[in-house]
Amino acid sequence: MSSSKKQAFFIASLIILWYSSNIGVLLLNKLLLSNYGFRFPIFLTLCHMSACAVLSYLSIVFFKIVPLQVVKSTPQLLKIATLSVVFCGSVVGGNISLRYLPVSFNQAVGATTPFFTAVFAYLMTFKREAWVTYGALVPVVVGVIIASGGEPGFHLFGFIMCISATAARAFKSVLQGILLSSEGEKLNSMNLLLYMSPIAVLVLLPAALIMEPNVLDVTLELGRKHKYMLLLLLLNSTMAYSANLTNFLVTKHTSPLTLQVLGNAKGAVAVVISIFIFRNPVTFVGIAGYSMTVLGVVAYGEAKRRFR
């Protein structure tokens, strides 16, 4: 096999792993939170962050997948801690929303991330895009409004949590650009995860014990009741780390445009698979709204690239 074919095969394998990890963790979250009666989104996020903390340490310190970047000062560590808290909020919010909303609608709302990123970038850094770029965000928002009206499984609290999680995810990305902007403080995504995940565990552990006090008893009881419950929880947590690792590797080995196209397609694939698995009802209006949002995201990415 020629080197170019090997490279193509390697990248294709990475993309398949990236899709499998991202979609797998999303579907398993929904399965655990809705179908298994595991109603503990904070503890679920704690499991994810614990797995990320352990596996990040092993992959960077022992297996040296990427070079270790050292935190050089207390202010830098405080900035990472701030990002970690915001990151926790976004993940917990997303997991809570999955208790109440179908995965398909969850993904439709999540597709509005570029809208919130543009808003926060403007408010926090006064960074302006071309008006054409902002115009491309109109169908992103309108599409979600249409999808909301056509969603048979719409739940107001779930929707609020999903929107909040999406906004927090966008806020974190803008905040990261501001806090870790100097060359001496920049960390790649894997090293950032290495430092953020243990902090997240310290934040989530007391939160889970206070807000979900019977979580351990119920988890063990569910483990006895459902044969594969604990195994699914372990697989789910491992996939959460795998999603971050493969995202980093795909970003490293492909172009930004390819990554953008793959990211848009990933959401659509997740929607189709979730509808087949969970059999949640969908309407033409809902599909039309989601399609408009995705097309708006594509148009926004293209406009941002052209009018930079």
Residue range 184-196, pLDDT digits in tens: 788 899 999 999 9
Burial (CB count <10 Å: 0-12, 13-18, 19+), residue 231:
exposed
Q: What average pLDDT score do residues 175-190 get? A: 85
Distances (CA, A) of 155 to 1, 96, 218: 52, 12, 25
Report residue 153 as tokens.
């499984």
Instruction: Evaluate if residue 183 carries a pLDDT over 90.
Output: no
Q: What average pLDDT score do residues 30-58 get? A: 94
Task: Average the pLDDT over each of 3-7, 225-229, 299-303 and give the range with the smallest value.
Answer: 3-7
CA distance 228 to 136: 45
Tell me how many degrees the CA angle 151-153-156 measures, rounded to the nearest 5.
90
Instruction: Evaluate if residue 307 carries a pLDDT over 80.
Output: no
What is the percent of the chain where pLDDT is above 70?
Answer: 99
| Domain range list for the chain | 1-305
Q: What average pLDDT score do residues 170-181 get? A: 89
Q: What is the pLDDT of residues 162-173, one digit of tens each?
A: 999 999 999 999
Give the contacts of 125 (CB within 8 A, at least 6 positions apart): 174, 177, 178
Q: What is the pLDDT of residues 256-278, one digit of tens each?
A: 667 777 887 888 899 999 999 99
Q: What pLDDT score was predicted for residue 8? A: 86
Supply the pTM of this predicted model. Answer: 0.91
Q: What average pLDDT score do residues 83-89 get? A: 95
Q: What average pLDDT score do residues 16-21 get? A: 94
Report residue 303 as tokens.
């406009």
Q: What pLDDT score was predicted for residue 308? A: 66
